[in-house]
Structure 1
Amino acid sequence: MKVKYLAIVLVVASSPAWAIYKCTVEGHTSFQEQPCADARTQKDVHVQYEAPKLGSAPDAPRVQDNVAALEKERMRHEAEYALRDKQAALTNFQRRCAQEVDAIAEGRNEVNSFRAQAEASAATARATSCNTQVQALQSQVDALQRKCDGMGCKAPL
């Protein structure tokens, strides 16, 4: 049963599904899908069609080179944007940390020395936390910079 269906599919797929007729009427030649009105002027045209073989195209190496170059360019752009975004995140984080530490330090100007000590400790703890996170972000920026340099990135946008 399966062999019968396979045979039908192969017969249908192997022959073109259209016919082309060359018609000549009063010296004018035309090509059409329908038979000519006057069968005497009709000539059947058999189209020879051969499916292209995969991987045999003469332009395949050039196309593959173009694809590889485009992929390299895409990766370079991604690296540039990742570096730019990480540098912006680092700058914004440093700015926000500085503002937080300054806000805590401004609160120490009160007369109560116990509260001033607590706020000084909070400012020191926050500054330490900020520095740790800044170092982590900076190492990420450095890694992205090395990757970008290896790909020939342009200066961050």
Structure 2
Amino acid sequence: MKLLATLPFVVAMASASAQVYKCPDAAGKLQFQQTPCAGANGSKVEVRPASGNAPAPTQSTSGGSASTGTAEKKSFTDTLTEERMQRERWVKLNDAKLDADRIRSSCEQEQRTIQARQASSKNNLAGATRDQAIAAEMQAAATTCQNRVTGADRIVDRLQGECDRLGCRAPGT
């Protein structure tokens, strides 16, 4: 298991021209090194750059061996990283949608609470004054809620655009 954990680091650290050998040590564990193994019990590891991480070509001649315009095959690590990022974007988007729904529900509950206080006013001058104060409070609360909902909706729209552009994937898929 440790071998699998260290192998990507060894491969990532090796340049395209470096030689890497895997050799068993005295305890039978595999070791990676830049020099050939002592004895004939080791083997050479082919080191290739991961997709997207290839060093920039240093040759100025046009007859280089690098092929342009061809899609490089993604490494397993790159594929896993991309899938993880897609799941994280999906989770962020759904969290933002839930937050927006919570804000809307909270605002609706606040408006209902204020309206209930207004309904208990008596039909007299004091009640009319109280009704005006409650109406002003309702308007202020509605404006505040509208601003909070608009902000939450902007976040959802931004994350939805990111998901549409880069892809999202639900966890477990």
Given that 2:83 and 2:169 are in contact with CA atoms closer than 8 Å, whether structure 1 keeps it comes out as no
> Greater CA radius of gyration, 1 or 2?
1
**TM-score with structure 1 length normalisation?**
0.61
Q: CA RMSD for the aligned pairs?
A: 3.2
Partner residue of 1:129?
A: 144
How far apart are residue 50 of structure 1 and its match? 5.6
Partner residue of 1:57?
A: 47
Given that 1:83 and 1:156 are in contact with CA atoms closer than 8 Å, whether structure 2 keeps it comes out as no
Partner residue of 1:47?
A: 39
CA distance in structure 1 between the partners assigned to 2:159 and 2:116 by the alignment: 37
More helix by percentage: 1
Partner residue of 1:25?
A: none
Partner residue of 2:15?
A: none
Q: Which runs of 5+ in 2 are unaligned?
A: 1-23, 27-37, 52-71
Q: Which runs of 5+ in 1 are unaligned?
A: 1-15, 19-45
Counting matched residue pairs gives: 113
Q: How does 1:144-155 map to 2 (within 5 A)?
A: 144-154=159-169
Deviation by residue 1:55-99 (Cα, 9 ceiling, x = unmatched): x43696699621111111110000000000110110011011001
Percent identity reads 28
Q: Which amino acid aligns with 1:149?
A: D
Establish whether residue 70 from structure 1 lines up as the match of residue 86 from structure 2: no
Partner residue of 1:114?
A: 129
**TM-score with structure 2 length normalisation?**
0.55
Q: Which amino acid aligns with 1:140?
A: I
Change (3 A) 1:88 1:48: same
Given that 1:84 and 1:156 are in contact with CA atoms closer than 8 Å, whether structure 2 keeps it comes out as no
